Structure 1
């Protein structure tokens, strides 16, 4: 096959410089595409010089030129294309998904069960909404496989429309950025608990122990170097993050059996339709790995819906086990006295609890770069669209643009974290956006799948399409309900916040 190779740029994220095939090569690609729907697209970028001067020789007709334009547009959506690299296995993808989902939401689950009416009602709603979350991941897996998408917003672009792509990019940017702030706040909280336990309640008067300094310096040393990595390069960190959460779960269980903490009344079934849904924002926040799932899919060695579905099912099962055990044992330990952050209810002087505090900070360090990757890509896509840059122009400036965005986001998240008192203010608002990613957008994608199948097969599979359409409609309705509920609860929490006693006096 005759090819023209272009020298690689200095992109550390691994954006592979594509080769532009001759007309005969394009013909062979189309033949292969007809035999196999899941073909590998030409991924990468082309310099403006080649695009403007050499296409006349290589692409003698308008049809081929249009195809190259489409390939160029797709290539500019991702900074983590694999090219000829091997990729990751499904179980490594599972760890990345688990690490993206498990995190700060676990701390709020015991309190959410109490607010939902107790053990029975809390577990019931938990299982129902977890099933919905798994179903939406399967929808995303199929859509990403069919359209070969690399980011969540690109999936919405291909399945819905450019307008919805902009909406998705804005929502992703807000959600992931605020979540990054939340992780830094959690890091500061764990430092404060450790210092207060061993030094005293006046530790923050020493500048080097003050949370503003500890959050900034730890983020600079442990988070900042990872802000420029592509998402598959974070898989080793995900192992550490998942193990940290498993240890935290083990501590919650062990404290129930070995300690005798003051405990309030424990509710088992106090069902009120308005009360039971109080757990929904926490569930949505706790299971939101959908934005990260599409970039993780693009890193798979074997990119197909079956392999990715296996990773998603395994990841959701792990999350379900961890959240269920932690929520039930945490609530049974303290009853109605359980703190919104369950870890704050334990005695930090106990070594096992102190280790849990430290590992929770480690977990935040490992998850932050995954979310920063998503918001970095979303903002980059918005910038390209707002500037109306051509694919070639966007590709040439991508390395500098990515670095600038990453540095700005990291610095801004530190600044906001310094002046935000606690995570409870934002968890429910984040849950409202998570409901959009988990329910609404996947439902819209399923509608488009059904419509596309009807165009191809007509009424041949009418019953199946009607069923899928009703499921998609249910996802959209449930998503809008969960969004409205979580947003309302979030606003109420801002207007009437819980009293927070500072650790350092």
Structure 2
């Protein structure tokens, strides 16, 4: 069995190999970096600079280690996709279609966060392009209406296509957009003085906090977990890697996570040092009151909006595939099912994005539930159940600790977030 699965994996890898080491790192960083970067400055304000550094190092290190466990499982399952490994586990212990559920939830949450960004940023982007004396309360200032229009006119037609491979070319721009975002955050640190204008801060609030503990701190780790969730893309990238080995792919992982960590930390640090405790949960919104028509801020807002808009249909495809697999199994392609699943998923995600009041709620709930499972709990459980290593081996103990950390982090964060909601309401 072990020899056969290794042969199967080798056959898959030999058919798909060819991507260079550098391009694999670039692809992994594109999978890692997304809307989570907009919430990390708020996470730093909620935990302090030192507290944030400790947590970010912890989460990124555990993310790299959980990928290490998944790569080791490739040899034993013959799986070249995370879905194959997870499906192998669920087939043995539950049923073969249960695997669709965690993937479906993760894709729903990602699409909701992206649509929320469109809802909050589109009105500001349009206003920044119009003249200052334009009338207020116009229809284009309603983020919910704009979100519905953009979903119907752009997201829905692209999502209805049976194949959407050409949109993959746009993903190469994502990293450049994120790099530009970090550069703008650093540069604009010196454009907004502290104390902040409009008398919202005093001089005493212009000193950074090293450690902060409050109810808002519960959003920090879930937001970080959401930001480093790339596990569904790791093994396909491994397949396409030239001369694929676990050690070589682990280097790709370590470099990709390290560079993402660097961009995350720089943008979070300078975003926090610009607004301190008054940083918004979605960083770009913090600049509106002080730099409403700044060219660099407008450009970075438009770049991120374009990236997010073109990413939603790409995320929708695996979500629809998981939903159809869960409900209809391996049935042949049907336009009726295809269209119905597309409309249903987009309606649910659109409703979530419209009625969620704050993006930190998306990061918090998604990070404490779905992201913690896919990042920590599932890789550890899969390794313990599938691996032939003794339970006292280093990786088995590490997998068990990974599961424990994921469960504790998820439960505590989710409970604190729910209690905070209840008190605020």
User: TM-score, normalising length from structure 1?
Assistant: 0.71
1:289 aligns to 2:230 (yes or no): yes
Q: Which ranges of structure 2 fall in alignment gaps of 5 or more residues?
A: none
Matches within 5 A, 1:394-473: 394=330, 396-397=332-333, 401-402=337-338, 404-432=340-368, 433-450=370-387, 452-454=388-390, 466-473=393-400
The residue that corresponds to 1:341 in the other structure is 282
The residue that corresponds to 2:323 in the other structure is 379
2: CA distance, partners of 1:87 / 1:407: 37
The residue that corresponds to 2:403 in the other structure is 476
Q: 1:149 to 1:204 in 2, by over 3 A?
A: farther
Q: Shift of residue 219 of structure 1?
A: 3.6
**1:105-138 C-alpha deviation (Å, 9 max, x unpaired):** 212211211211x111211121111100111122
The residue that corresponds to 2:104 in the other structure is 173
1: CA distance, partners of 2:136 / 2:82: 41
Q: Shift of residue 104 of structure 1?
A: 2.0
Matches within 5 A, 1:126-275: 126-144=56-74, 146-149=76-79, 151-159=81-89, 161-163=92-94, 168-197=99-128, 198=130, 205-207=137-139, 210-224=142-156, 226-227=158-159, 228=161, 234-261=167-194, 262=196, 264-270=205-211
Q: Shift of residue 431 of structure 1?
A: 0.6
**Greater relative contact order (Cα 8 A, min sep 6): structure 1 or 2?**
2
Secondary structure of the residue aligned to 1:285 is helix
**1:2-44 C-alpha deviation (Å, 9 max, x unpaired):** xxxxxxxxxxxxxxxxxxxxxxxxxxxx9x9599463336xxx
Q: Shift of residue 442 of structure 1?
A: 0.7
2: CA distance, partners of 1:294 / 1:34: 15
The residue that corresponds to 2:296 in the other structure is 352
Moved more, 89-98 or 241-250: 89-98
Moved more, 363-372 or 84-93: 84-93
Moved more, 175-184 or 211-220: 211-220
The residue that corresponds to 1:16 in the other structure is none
Contact 1:102 1:242 in 2 (8 A): yes
RMSD of Structure 2 on Structure 1 (CA): 3.5
Contact 1:125 1:277 in 2 (8 A): no
1:318 aligns to 2:251 (yes or no): no
Contact 2:158 2:164 in 1 (8 A): no
**1:294-340 C-alpha deviation (Å, 9 max, x unpaired):** 45445556665345334322321221011110111111112112222
Contact 1:93 1:311 in 2 (8 A): yes
Q: 1:153 to 1:244 in 2, by over 3 A?
A: same
**1:456-492 C-alpha deviation (Å, 9 max, x unpaired):** xxxxxx8xx5222211111000010111122123313
Secondary structure of the residue aligned to 1:121 is helix
The residue that corresponds to 1:39 in the other structure is 10
1:361 aligns to 2:297 (yes or no): no
Q: 1:301 to 1:363 in 2, by over 3 A?
A: same
Q: 1:374 to 1:210 in 2, by over 3 A?
A: same
Moved more, 259-268 or 106-115: 259-268
Q: 1:313 to 1:497 in 2, by over 3 A?
A: farther
Moved more, 144-153 or 317-326: 144-153
Q: Which ranges of structure 1 fall in alignment gaps of 5 or more residues?
A: 1-29, 42-81, 386-393, 455-461, 499-505
Q: 1:199 to 1:279 in 2, by over 3 A?
A: same
Larger Cα Rg: Structure 1 or Structure 2?
1
